[in-house]
Amino acid sequence: MYVAITIVRVPGPAFSYHCPDFVRLYIEAMGYSPTIAPARIHVWRNAITEQGFVAVCAIDDSANNPAAFGDGIVGIGYGFTGRSEHWWDRQIHRGLAEQKCPPCS
């Protein structure tokens, strides 16, 4: 089976609009309880205010993919510039230190 996928950059306002679909996809992919959706939507929508925010999504170009969400969304990725105040940034630094990697500047 051939599936045509297009990767699309998602600007902040569109990311916020599609956030419920993105979070549903994330929850299903990770096997998490749907009860976390409201909290994740809130956190993800706040991410658009972070410096360096960028998001992309994968769109299934075929019309009848039962695994697609929203407007054919089959994948999502986003990120932003890390800061020491962020939990994830601290986890990365801790992991690098445990592996005795040189400090990041």
Domain count, the chain: 1
Report mean pLDDT in 10-residue bins for the chain, 105 residues.
82 93 94 97 96 93 61 88 83 86 67
Number of helices (H) and strands (E), helices first, in the chain?
Answer: 3, 3
Give the CA distances from residue 74 to residues 26, 33, 44, 62, in Å, rounded to whole numbers and listed in that order: 10, 19, 17, 11
Residue 105 lies in a domain: no
Residue 61 lies in a domain: yes
Digit-coded pLDDT (tens) for 65-92: 555 556 688 899 999 987 888 888 888 8
Residue 56 lies in a domain: yes
Calpha distance 65→50 (Å, rounded): 33
Domain, as residue range, for 78: 5-98
Residue 29 lies in a domain: yes
Model pLDDT, residue 68: 54
pTM of the predicted model over 0.85: no
Residue 87 lies in a domain: yes
